[in-house]
Amino acid sequence: MDPTAGDVVFETIVPGADRSRIAEFSAGTEDPNPIHTDEAFARAAGFPTVLQQGPMTTAHFARLLAETVGPERLRWLDVTFTAPVYPDEALTLTAVVAGVRDRIVTCTLRAAKADGTATAKGEAGFATQA
Amino acid sequence: MRMEMAGHVYPPFLLRPDKALAAKFLSGQGAAVDLDRVPPTYLIFLRAESRGANLFADLGIPRQKALHGGQRYEWRAALDWDDDLDVTVTVEKITERAGRGGRIWFADVAFDYVRVADGVPVLREITRLIERE
């Protein structure tokens, strides 16, 4: 049965990434930006420590959607980063169905820290089951 | 921000997914390193930097003033590990706004990934870069 508005597609706690994992993700994305790996650089840029990459949150959303509905059903994903994420901060990622139209299920995405701070919001679309 | 870069289209560059990079991409996330498929957001604007589209330098965004506003992915066809892709980078628009701490510039940059073998578009990615004053 196809989902309806309000259905939870997933609600998942993603454990925090430590500095070595953040550096690994930079290597895997060919990201040379020292803001993710160099403490002094991050502080000079006005942050208390290095930043986790926004694209890591995007990757989590895409992976969780693919695991939940199947990768072949993914159509689009749009994520806006709203607050910095620092090392070792767990995030709760949620996707809730907003509606179904023209055989595409649209869902609303949210990422938040344990204290409730929203770090990303967005939308995704995936195909209804054939 | 170099406002005059709005509308600029880079010459296409060639890209092929790389399993060693994908393994780091997955382990960095804390995800299982399952390389049956190319991960859905493996293709990412950052790979352009060493291949001729150095956006931060070309747009004049100093690293310490840069933020990442967001990303959009539109998947159009399946992607395999042995697919060669032509990647075309387009600076779609640049806007300036007044923020609380000074001016802020937003650059939306589109990446169109086309399979070389048959000309099929496999992905459109849009990344939204921000420069703080």
- How large is the ipTM? 0.97
Q: Tell me the nearest-neighbour CA distance from A5 into chain B, angstroms.
A: 22
Each residue's pLDDT tens digit, B90-133: 999 999 999 888 999 999 999 999 999 999 999 999 999 999 98
Put simply, the answer to whether B75 touches A26 (Cβ < 8 Å) is no
A21, A7 in Cβ contact below 8 A? no
Each residue's pLDDT tens digit, B36-83: 999 999 999 999 999 999 999 999 999 889 999 999 999 999 999 999
Domains and CATH numbers, chain B: 3-132 (3.10.129.10)
Q: Render A32-54 in DSSP notation, one character per residue.
A: --GGGT-HHHHHHTT-SSPPPPH
Residue A81 has its nearest CB partner, among B41, B64, B68, at B68
Task: Give the pLDDT of residue B99.
Answer: 82
Put simply, the answer to whether B27 touches A24 (Cβ < 8 Å) is yes
Domains and CATH numbers, chain A: 8-127 (3.10.129.10)
Helices A54-69 & B19-29 angle (0-180, nearest 10): 90
* Token couple for B23: 């393994």
Closest residue of B to A31, CA-based? Answer: B46
Task: Give the pLDDT of residue A130.
Answer: 66
